[in-house]
Each structure stands twice: as C-alpha cells, then as structure tokens.
Amino acid sequence: MSHSEQLQATVAALVRPGRGILAADESGPTIAKRFKAIGVESTEENRRAYRSLLLATPGLDAYISGIILYEETLAQRADDGTPLPEVAARHGIVPGIKVDAGKIPLALAPGDEITQGLDGLGKRLAGYREQGARFAKWRAVYNISDTLPSRLAIKANAHALARYAAICQDEGIVPIVEPEVLLDGGHTIERCAEVTEAVLHAVFHALSGHRVAFEHMLLKPSMVVAGKDHPRQAGVAEVAAQTVRVLRRTVPAAVPGIFFLSGGQTPVEATVHLDAINRIGPQPWVLSFSYGRALQEPAQQAWRGQPGNARAAQDALLTRARLNGAARDGRYEAAMEK
C-alpha cells in the first residue's frame, strides 16, 4: 500500500458510523493524578492492568473505532502476552499514539504555552508504526483570558501542529490535530468563540502552508463553552450553536472528521453537547468524540484497582461509549442513562 492509500484506509476506519475514539494516552503525571483519585498507585503494572482491561472490553468496537495510547502502552502486553496494540487491532480498533512531549511556557510570552516534541519525530513515528500505530495525536494548549492567548502563541502553536501533521503524513500516519482552548477561567462563551475561531483559522492556514492533505487528517477541538468560573454557564443549545458556527467558519469541508475532546466536562455533559451538535443537522464532516475523562471516569470509579471490579469497569466504559455513539448521530436520549 502507498502512504496515501494507507492514510485513506486509516481515516476510513476511524470515521466509521456510530463510533468515536477512546483517548487513553494520559502521560505519566496525568495517569498518576487519575489513579490517585481512586486510591491506586501509578506503577507500570497497574497502568498495564488498567489499560489492558479497557482494551479487553467485550463489544467495545461497536462504538469505538480507534484508541490513543501512550508510548509506554504501545510496548506493553496483555496477560496472554499479546502486545496491546495488537489486542486493539484484533478487536477492530485502530491503535494510535500520543507523540507530543507535553507543554512548556512559551518564551517571552507570559501566560502562554507551547507544545514540544518535533525534534526526531519522523524517526519516532517510524518506530511507532512498527509497533502497530496507524494514527497520532499532538495537543496544543491555549490559556484564555481577556489578553490570552497572544497572537504569538496562536501562531507558534499553529506552526508546531502543522509541522507535526506534515511529518505524520510523510510517514503514512494519520495526524489528529488537537488545539485545546482550555475550560479554565471566568471568560464568557463569546470570548471562547472568538479565541477558538482565531486559533482554528491560524491552524488551518499553517496546515495549508505545510502542504498537509486535509483529506488525511482529523481535527480534535474543544467545544465552545463559557469558562468554568463564569457565573452564567451557557445552555446546551447555545454551546452547540456556537461550536458549529465556529467550526463552519474555519474547518475546510475536505476534513473528514472532527472528534471533540471532553476537556473537563462531566461525562453526561460531554454526551449531551455532542448530541445537540449533531442534531443541528448535516455538516460537511463527521462530528464525533475522542474523549479521555468523559469515557474513562465512570470506569475508573468502578475499577479502583481491584481485579474483581474489572467487569464492572468494562460495563461502565461500554455504557459511555454506547451513549456517545448515539450522540454522534444525534440519537441520544436522557432516558438511555438508566
């Protein structure tokens, strides 16, 4: 298969009807935080046990088309010795890999951040391909206030995302481009819309400049919402309308799919919002989910590190995956939560 055919096949597998992507690529410090909340120590074996459990969920492939793994997980094995990326692939779930090296302060831009990890990326990707990865993820983070993000931060992160995406496509790996405008802060939903529009505009301008094929990438944006400390939280219909409006203004129709992050929304909020977004009507792209916390929180609560709870944890994951699968088609009903 040529790189172009490989990219096309991966995209087609990821955007299959009724499905979304499970983000299980928490970095070392992040998974330690999630485990601490359920009283589990973050050892390599506990991380392996937990992520094996997620992947072994019976029937998960009915609602999940891809899973984003962390580098460590790509090399880990299930209890029977099968490499975890192969467990995913056997279930019909495409394995992917987080490839950015995290965020640091952006020099000379107080309050802004930049994502690092470009050096040597092509070589790393070739290795990840060998291990079974077919798509990748890079997350850029934008802090929001009256003055942030600066124009410099918008431009620098767009450039890094575009370089990353171009290197991925050059290696036959589908890039998921993730510009995340954070939920933190006291800003209005209008301010979030303004920032998200500027960010996405710059990202697609840079992607185009770096010759990235829009047909062979996916976008993973945040939804347009009010800051979590703002006294007036926008209603569901307003979040959906503002989100779709910004996306329609900035995302080319050639992009096959938009897979939202949950970003700190509760599991139910994330499902309700995705459903409302899809109910607005047909759009040029698939509008689906690539949730981390909103898919995994209930599973982690059920698991709490006890092998005896594995089945309950898998049931909890499957339930959220199924409900988001419905929301992805605008078919979710609150009664389905029971």
Query: Does the protein bind ligand 13P through residue 24 (CB under 6 A)?
Result: no
Residue nearest to ligand 13P (CB): 292
Q: Which residues contact 256 (CB under 8 A, 6 or more apart)?
A: 11, 15, 215, 218, 285, 286
Closest residue by Cα to residue 115 from 172, 175, 177, 170: 177
- Interface stretch with ligand 13P, choices 41-49, 153-161, 257-265, 277-285 (CB under 6 A): 257-265
**Which residues are part of the catalytic machinery?**
178, 220
Q: How near is the Cβ of 291 to ligand 13P at its closest, in Å?
A: 4
Query: Does the protein bind ligand 13P through residue 138 (CB under 6 A)?
Result: no
Query: Does the protein bind ligand 13P through residue 293 (CB under 6 A)?
Result: yes
Q: Report residue 202 as tokens.
A: 């710059």
- Interface stretch with ligand 13P, choices 101-109, 119-127, 291-299, 310-318 (CB under 6 A): 291-299
Query: Does the protein bind ligand 13P through residue 204 (CB under 6 A)?
Result: no
Query: Does the protein bind ligand 13P through residue 187 (CB under 6 A)?
Result: no
Phi/psi at 326 (5° precision)? -70, -45
H or E element in which residue 25 lies: none
Binding residue (CB under 6 A) for ligand 13P from 50, 291, 303, 332:
291
**Is 123 exposed, middle or buried (CB count within 10 Å of its CB: 0-12, 13-18, 19+)?**
exposed
Q: Report residue 324 as tokens.
A: 């988001």
Query: Does the protein bind ligand 13P through residue 299 (CB under 6 A)?
Result: no
Query: Does the protein bind ligand 13P through residue 261 (CB under 6 A)?
Result: yes
Which of residues 148 and 294 has its CB atom nearest to ligand 13P in the complex? 294
CA angle at residue 36 from 32 to 40, to 5 degrees? Answer: 95
Q: How near is the Cβ of 108 to ligand 13P at its closest, in Å?
A: 26
| Distance of alpha carbon 158 from alpha carbon 203, whole angstroms | 4
Binding residue (CB under 6 A) for ligand 13P from 196, 262, 278, 288:
262
Task: Using DSSP, state whether 159 is helix, strand or coil.
Answer: helix
Binding site for ligand 13P (CB under 6 A): 23, 139, 178, 261-263, 291-294
